[in-house]
Structure 1
Amino acid sequence: MKRVLQSVLCALTCCVAVPGSPALAAPQVLKEIPASLLGDASRQKVFVLAGDADEVSNRLLIAPEQARNEDILLDTSKALPLIKSQYSSALQGVFSVHVLKGRPGVMTVIDPQAEEAVVKQPFFEEGDYIALVTSEEDNAVYNFNLLFAFNRGSKQFELKHILQLVNNEYCDRSLISVAELPVRTLGSITLASFDGFEALEKLRAANISGPQGGYKKLMTVYSADLLDTGLAAYRKGDSSSFKRVMSEALMGDDSHGACSPASYITGKYYFRQHPGWSNDLGFLLGEAGYYVESIELLNAVIAHNPERAVAYLNLADSYWAMNDKERAVPAYKQYASRMLEAGKASKIPARVAERSVGGSGS
């Protein structure tokens, strides 16, 4: 393997003997990542190479493991620009390079804390893919993941997904949301034609001027599993396991205390395209005794889906459990009214009528 790397680096230095000229030094390897990018059994290496002292970019190179000069798949010095640090004279990279594993039905991404997260979104059945991830010195709240995959027809690494990952800036910095931007945000581009400086400016503009209601939000596998596991424990009547599972939905830890629900619940657990999922999680949070979190999430469900009757019942029950009858009673009345309008009077629980007048129904 070392011999392969040496041959690639030798090819990059354009080793042409010029009388009286000093020998060109091989580029410094900043990162070397094994990969299988072509959707077959072949293996490649992804290199990040330092540019010359007067260059404003690092160099990105992809080559087969058994590489010759003519076998290099990609060689570009535009994709990885460098920016001046505000606090020192050192240069800092704008994009970090990652090779991520393709899995059916999901995508792996890198959050602002440089940790992997898995989202439920079809991507590729086989093969690895390349992620260019933004890294800005004064921004620890969000980043962008640009996902490139090899197209066998065009023989190019094409941009397939643009994702924005957001962390909680008020508490424990954990991942809150993953949103997908249209690929047209950057245009139809390949890794060979990708200009990192230009892309960063477009991404910053997209962050500021996103569509009303935000971009499409993707669900993490962690969140999906959390609801499934919590529902299973609740239905079995396993209160110990149920409470433990639901506690995992909360952000914060013992050393810092729980995060304020207002700082993350809606961002993390409300999904416009899956309001039923969010309602169910709000219900389970209330059943586990996390009433403030339940109320925060259910209010978001109702704000965007005012026709969803059961959300009013779940919200009312959480308010009632907190002895907040002033808010519980109107929610019970809203629920009853919507059920009557839908011709479902027989399905209204008995407690609703008593509590709607401020009674003490259990």
Structure 2
Amino acid sequence: MSSLFKKIRVVSILLFMFGTSLVWAVQDTDVASKSKVIKEFYINLIPNLNGQKLLVLNEGDSAGRILTLVAEKDGKQSVISKAPLALPNIKNEYSPASYDGFDVAVLNGAEKLVSISGVQGEDVLYKYAPSKSGDIVDMTTREEDNAESNFNVQFQYDASLKKVAVSKVLLVTSNSECDRSIMSVHALPSNELMSVPLEEFNGAKAFEYLKKLRLGVQTAQMKSEKLFSVSVTSNFEKALAAFKVGDKAKLKEFMSNMLADGGSSDSCAPDSYIVEKYYYPGMVGWSNDVGFLFAEAGYYREAVELLKVVVSENPDRTVAYLNLADAYWGIGLKELSIENYKKYSLLMQQSGKLEKIPKRVKDRT
């Protein structure tokens, strides 16, 4: 049998068990012999191919890992694509025993929705119009000294290229001061990684490039789109509906779902996450309404943090001054409340709407 195997080239994956270790040996020059499969995902990336699997092969503690896509072809399992540089071990300055780099997962894509993985590995849905259905290879950055943000580099099958390539690059910011939950997600539609085929993806170079992208987004020098969370949008709509029918208990319940760390302002200060999570420069009206509902639900500190930014970035937004003044009044900061009531009244006077000023404004000022 041994001589027969030497003569015939077979593309196959044989499973061997050594104690508790799972080892795959691949008889093909495209994959190193006796490499260990440390992760295996069933996936459907490329049309009209059966039995597709994504394998993560361990090439040693310092050499990094190899990402390989295999599928059934002519009744046998063949290597379809191999990315030898996608998963490097990148040295960091904190520990010689740990490395920065990328983690890999397989996600199921949907039309106009994108799954996001944060620093804790949670899977959260966000709205994103360019998203398409189909399985996704999601590569997330991992940094020893960074609990605040990570990148999701997502690969899907590109019919025009006839290859699996980068379809989305997303910057995920998390709350490092409290529960490390996701605060914001920015999609970067224009960058050098877009449409790079999986087999050509160089993880080490991409890792350094992504650091520059992060700085560009944070300093507003790079164009990005801030995405809406599906769960946040749902809670907001339910809270707004409860407010309209006067159901205070339901309003408070739904707005509490939008607070970090179980809703405790003492354990997770509003100024550590509220603005990053709920202020959208392109949707100021929505941000104002969130601040208003926070105040109506009794979460005055959260309302103040959000509405302060709304008025500072949009000084002509009249109703935001009223909402901010009410929120200040709710936490007993009456001087600041009166100051904003007066700004609101002045803007209402300038627009000829004095008669529409609520009675409480006149009473409190």
Q: Assess same fold via TM > 0.5.
A: yes
Instruction: Quote the Cα distance in structure 2 between the aligned partners of 1:328 and 1:67.
Output: 75
Structure 1 residues 121, 42: closer, same or farther in 2, change over 3 A?
farther
Match of 1:111 among 109, 118, 141: 118
Instruction: Quote the Cα distance in structure 1 between the aligned partners of 2:98 and 2:331.
Output: 54
Pairwise CA distance, 1:56 = 2.4
The answer to whether the Cα contact below 8 Å between 1:105 and 1:123 also exists between their aligned partners in 2 is yes
Q: Give 1:258's aligned amino acid.
A: S
Calculate percent identity across the aligned residue pairs: 36
Match of 2:89 among 82, 87, 108: 82
Residue-by-residue CA offset, 1:106-132 (whole Å, 9 max, x unaligned): 100110011111111124442111111
Structure 1 residues 351, 185: closer, same or farther in 2, change over 3 A?
farther
What's 1:18 paired with?
A: none
Structure 1 unmatched ranges of 5 or more = 16-23
What's 1:29 paired with?
A: 37
Match of 2:179 among 172, 183, 204: 172
What's 1:270 paired with?
A: 279
**Alignment coverage as a number of residue pairs:** 345
1:345 corresponds to 2:339: no
Match of 2:158 among 143, 151, 155: 151
Instruction: Quote the Cα distance in structure 1 between the aligned partners of 2:164 and 2:210.
Output: 20
Pairwise CA distance, 1:314 = 0.6
1:305 corresponds to 2:314: yes
Instruction: Quote the Cα distance in structure 2 between the aligned partners of 1:42 and 1:339.
Output: 66
Match of 1:10 among 8, 17, 26: 26
Structure 1 residues 91, 313: closer, same or farther in 2, change over 3 A?
closer
Instruction: Quote the Cα distance in structure 1 between the aligned partners of 2:186 and 2:251.
Output: 29
Pairwise CA distance, 1:101 = 0.7
What's 1:219 paired with?
A: 228
Q: Give 1:121's aligned amino acid.
A: Y
Pairwise CA distance, 1:185 = 4.4
Instruction: Quote the Cα distance in structure 1 between the aligned partners of 2:313 and 2:78.
Output: 53
The answer to whether the Cα contact below 8 Å between 1:156 and 1:192 also exists between their aligned partners in 2 is no
Match of 1:101 among 105, 108, 119: 108
What's 1:122 paired with?
A: 129
Pairwise CA distance, 1:354 = 2.9
Q: Give 2:71's aligned amino acid.
A: P
Pairwise CA distance, 1:309 = 1.0
1:50 corresponds to 2:49: no
Structure 1 residues 196, 14: closer, same or farther in 2, change over 3 A?
closer
Cα RMSD (Å): 2.8
Match of 1:330 among 339, 344, 347: 339
The answer to whether the Cα contact below 8 Å between 2:303 and 2:327 also exists between their aligned partners in 1 is yes
Q: Give 1:337's aligned amino acid.
A: L
Residue-by-residue CA offset, 1:90-111 (whole Å, 9 max, x unaligned): 4636111111111122100110
Structure 1 residues 144, 125: closer, same or farther in 2, change over 3 A?
closer
Instruction: Quote the Cα distance in structure 2 between the aligned partners of 1:200 and 1:157.
Output: 19
Instruction: Quote the Cα distance in structure 2 between the aligned partners of 1:204 and 1:143.
Output: 10
1:192 corresponds to 2:199: yes
Which range moved further: 226-235 or 284-293?
226-235
Pairwise CA distance, 1:323 = 2.7
Instruction: Quote the Cα distance in structure 2 between the aligned partners of 1:109 and 1:46.
Output: 19
Match of 1:287 among 296, 300, 310: 296
SS of aligned partner of 2:147 = coil
**TM-score normalised to the size of structure 1?**
0.86
Structure 1 residues 117, 65: closer, same or farther in 2, change over 3 A?
farther
Structure 1 residues 12, 183: closer, same or farther in 2, change over 3 A?
farther
Pairwise CA distance, 1:29 = 0.2
Q: Give 1:178's aligned amino acid.
A: V
What's 2:326 paired with?
A: 317
Q: Give 1:134's aligned amino acid.
A: T
Q: Give 2:183's aligned amino acid.
A: I
Higher strand content, 1 or 2:
2
Q: Give 1:311's aligned amino acid.
A: A
Match of 1:64 among 38, 60, 71: 71
Instruction: Quote the Cα distance in structure 1 between the aligned partners of 2:144 and 2:68.
Output: 25
**TM-score normalised to the size of structure 2?**
0.85
Residue-by-residue CA offset, 1:14-34 (whole Å, 9 max, x unaligned): 69xxxxxxxx84210011011
Residue-by-residue CA offset, 1:134-173 (whole Å, 9 max, x unaligned): 0112222211001111112321122121111111111121
Structure 2 unmatched ranges of 5 or more = 1-10, 16-23
Residue-by-residue CA offset, 1:214-233 (whole Å, 9 max, x unaligned): 74321111211121111112
Pairwise CA distance, 1:342 = 2.8
Which range moved further: 56-65 or 344-353?
344-353
The answer to whether the Cα contact below 8 Å between 2:92 and 2:100 also exists between their aligned partners in 1 is no
